Amino acid sequence: MNDGGSDRTSDEAEAAAPVPAAAEERDLRWILSVLPHRYPLLLVDRVLELEPGKRVVAIKNVTFNEPIFQGHFPGQPVFPGVLMVEAMAQAGGLLLLHGLPDRASKLLYFTSIDDCRFRRPVVPGDQMRLEVEVLRYRPSYCRLHGRVTVDGELAAEATIASATVDR
């Protein structure tokens, strides 16, 4: 009997369920449950917005306690551009992986980084706002555009492509 409701199975409905509305439910514990990254390479502190299949907004707080500042650069600490790109990719990973029912068995690998530009240095005390949107999505391939801003000013942007592979 069809009651006029959805034809989805409960597994499909759970996989398609939106991310919790409250930002506090997308804190570090939630991020750790989705991404495989850990210290010292976890570069997302909190997710502020997430529109499944469309976009994510996250933050990374940059502190002087980051191990990279021991050598980049002594007396003039600057957050490396390559880590800004990695932070965008991790935010994108949250967007792509959060809804996969078998995400523990998947990894995302970079396949390309295009049109990457660095506009201003990021230094200890800055809060990077990571904005990533889906340009093209297929189950095994995705193309994203990411932006890093600090206090509303563009610090970096890039178009990132990735492949989803089995672990």
pLDDT in tens, 29-43: 999 999 999 999 999
- 79-87: average pLDDT: 98
Instruction: Let me know if residue 162 belongs to a domain.
Output: yes
Instruction: Let me know if residue 2 belongs to a domain.
Output: no
- 72 is known as an active-site residue: yes
pLDDT class of 85 with cuts at 50, 70, 90: very high
Q: So what's the pLDDT on residue 99? A: 86
pLDDT in tens, 97-126: 998 889 999 999 999 999 999 999 999 999
- 41-58: average pLDDT: 97
The CATH number covering residue 89 comes to 3.10.129.10
Provide the residue range defining the domain that includes 61: 10-166
Q: So what's the pLDDT on residue 15? A: 44
Percent of the chain with pLDDT over 90: 81
| 83 close to 66: Cβ distance less than 8 angstroms | no
Number of structural domains (the chain) is 1
Quote the CA–CA distance of 44 and 35 in Å, as a whole number. Answer: 10
Contacts 24+ apart (CB under 8 A), 24-33: 26/50, 31/94
- 61-90: average pLDDT: 97
Residue 5, pLDDT above cutoff 50: no
Token readout for 102 is 């078998």
Mean pLDDT of the chain: 89
| 91 close to 108: Cβ distance less than 8 angstroms | no
